[in-house]
Structure 1
Amino acid sequence: MTSITRNLPWFVKDLGVAIVGEKCYVSLVENLNFGDMDCLKYALSKGLGIGIVVGGSIMKVPQLLLIISAKSARGLSLSAYVLETLAYAITLAYSYRNNFPFSTYGENFFLTLQNIIITLLILHYPSSRLTRTQSSGPRLALATALTTAGGIALYAAPAPTLAALQMATIPLSLFSKIPQIRQNARARSTGQLSAFAVISQVAGCLARLFTTSAEVGDPILTAGFALALILNIVLGMQMWSYWGKDGKDAGVPVESRFEESEKEKIPAAAWQEDGRVEVIIQPASPATSIATPTRQQPGRKWARKVD
């Protein structure tokens, strides 16, 4: 068997060496030494890391499709996505500047891009009736400018500043999930929240705890992934508890619900685009007019003319 594994095509060998290194490739592939626990652990970590990066590239795609197909971001917390995107971007910059293997942080690159798009969609499809009629152009322009400025600042930040920011991702991860958890609990519904994204985040955090300890050993990253795992499990439990429940009235002010209920009592044709109501009073029928006695005005007498 080793005669085959030692004579594999050059591109297979180059790919294996690029993934697990020369030493572990020779030990595991060419010599079939499966008792080398260090190389086995390293190879498993690399395989999980590559799988996480590939999964991260499509993790938020179902969430994007849900928002676009429904033309609504109902149930999604804007503040939660802004904080989560910031945490992803900081981890991406910190790992890149410290020359960590791409397999240990590559998903943050794809998740940052996907989260930026989701945040812009939340601004484009606001869930509040008060802002639904307003133009989303200024909000999108401001969000794009702030995102670009933040990316440039993270890229140019000194190493000590990045390390401090990376420590700040631990409370950021906490505060990024709490608004979404509170909104789900208040609405008793998860709205347009994607189950695939939540489950993938739980699995990704579990795998990242293993790969970080095996390849990097950075306690800051490990603590951040552990906290994110706990909060994602809470979101998963909410997804299970509220599955199939609708929360269309969640987040809508009481006044808006009252206006909606009053609007349903009036024919749709009577509503104008500017929100005014055109009330049409039907004239009384002749029979009704004849049958109804006429009230005399006070202080006025009627006389019958006698010829």
Structure 2
Amino acid sequence: MTAITRNLPWFIKDLGVSIVGQKCYTSLVENLNIEDVECLKYSLSKGLGLGIVVGGSIMKVPQLLLILSAKSARGLSLPAYVLETLSYAITLVYSQRNDFPFSTYGENLFLTIQNAIITLLIVFYQPSRRQTNKPAQVAGAAVAMVASGFALYLLPKDTLALCQVATLPLSLFSKLPQIIQNNRAQSTGQLSAFAVISQIAGCLARLFTTATEVGDIIVTAGFALALLLNCVLGAQLWMYWGKVENEEKGHLHGHHHVPPHVPVASEKGKQKEQVDIVVPPVSPPPRYASPQPSGRKWARKVD
């Protein structure tokens, strides 16, 4: 078997070396040394990292399709998505400026783009009591996003490093508005279950990759707290599944709403009201009443 694995085509070998490194490729692929625990853990970590990047490219697509099909962003918190998008963008710029491998931050590129589109859709579909120019609001929000991206890219590395430290509480607090809104409405609205479950799986995978490749306790704690909050969102999806938002219930059944100043009679009161009403009887017509003249005279024939 090693005669085959040591003579694989060059493009397969180069791909394997680029993913796990020459040492682990030689140990695991060419020599088939499955007892090399260190390389096994490292290869698993690399595989999970690439899986996260691929999963991040489609993670928010179901959420986008759900909003577009329903033509509504009900239940989605605008502050939560703004904070989350900012957190993704900071990590993306910081990693790119420091020339990190794309496999360690690639999902942030796709998540930033998808989150930006979702944020614009929330702005567009957000209900408003007054007449507003929705296209102008969306255009203004898009310009603000692009300007923020350029500003992040032009920041000095020291300042950008401080922003990266701030992404830990930023990413955590980005979940709180959504959790609070779900609890207040007793509904998750258009929140995508696929996106929430994918984020839970991604946090679990990042905990393993961080512990294997980085070993930074602060980053590990950040992913652990993010996992906890994502699990809270998952629990809310399970508890409020199929429930309609309280405000929407009131809107849908508004024609059955009785104003508070109008008294509602009870069944007992209705019965009493029916007993008190006396209807006078109608006298029956006389048994031998003479027929009313029809206006035509009939002659009696006499034999």
TM-score where L is the length of structure 1: 0.79
Change (3 A) 1:146 1:119: same
Report the Cα offset of residue 56 of structure 1. Answer: 0.4
**1:13 Cα deviation (Å)?**
0.7
Give the secondary structure class of the aligned counterpart of 1:130: coil
Residues 123, 139 of structure 1: 8 Å contact kept: yes
Offset at residue 129 of structure 1 (A): 4.3
Q: 1:192 aligns with which of 190, 193, 204?
A: 190
Q: Which residue of 2 aligns with 1:77?
A: 77
Aligned identity (percent) is: 69
Q: How many residues align?
A: 258
Unaligned runs of 5+ in 2: 259-303
Shift of 1:163: 1.5
Q: After superposition, what is the alpha-carbon deviation per residue over 1:185-209, rounded to whole angstroms, capped at 9, x for unaligned?
A: 0010000000000000000011011
Aligned counterpart in structure 1 of residue 200 of structure 2, from 199, 202, 222 = 202
State the alpha-carbon separation in 2 of the partners of residues 113 and 20 from structure 1: 29
What amino acid is the match of 2:237? Answer: M
- CA deviation after TM superposition for structure 1 residue 214, in Å: 2.0
User: Equivalent residue for 1:214?
Assistant: 212
Shift of 1:262: 5.8
Q: Tell me, in whole angstroms, the C-alpha distance in 2 between the residues paired with 1:170 and 1:51.
A: 22
Q: Residues 186 and 246 of structure 2 are in contact (CA less than 8 Å); yes or no, is this contact kept in structure 1? A: no
2:228 counterpart letter in structure 1: I
Q: Residue 175 of structure 1 aligns with which residue?
A: 173
Report the equivalent of 2:254.
261
Shift of 1:99: 2.5
Q: Is the Cα contact below 8 Å between 1:16 and 1:25 reproduced in 2? A: yes
Give the whole-Å Cα distance in 2 for the aligned partners of 1:85 and 1:43.
30
Gaps of 5+ in 1: 266-307
Distance 2:106 2:70 in 1: 30
1:218 Cα deviation after fit: 3.9
The one-letter amino acid of 1:65's match is: L
| Counterpart for residue 100 of structure 1 | 100
Cα shift readout 1:35-79 (whole Å, capped 9, x = no counterpart) = 112211110011000100000000000000000000000000000
Give the whole-Å Cα distance in 2 for the aligned partners of 1:173 and 1:163: 16
Task: Tell me the equivalent position of 1:130.
Answer: 129
Aligned to 1:164: 162
Q: Map 1:215-294; keep pairs closer than 5 Å.
A: 215-247=213-245, 249=247, 257=251, 261=254
Alignment correspondent of 2:269: none
Structure 1 SS opposite 2:247:
coil
Shift of 1:83: 0.3
Match of 2:49 in 1: 49
Q: Of 134, 140, 143, which residue of structure 2 is paired with 1:142?
A: 140
1:224 deviation in Å?
A: 2.5
Aligned amino acid, residue 45 of structure 2? S
Look at both structures and tell me which one has the larger radius of gyration over its CA atoms.
2
Quote the Cα distance in structure 2 between the aligned partners of 1:130 and 1:11: 60
Q: Secondary structure at the match of 1:134?
A: coil
Residue in 1 aligned with 2:26?
26
State the TM-score, normalizing by the size of structure 2.
Answer: 0.80
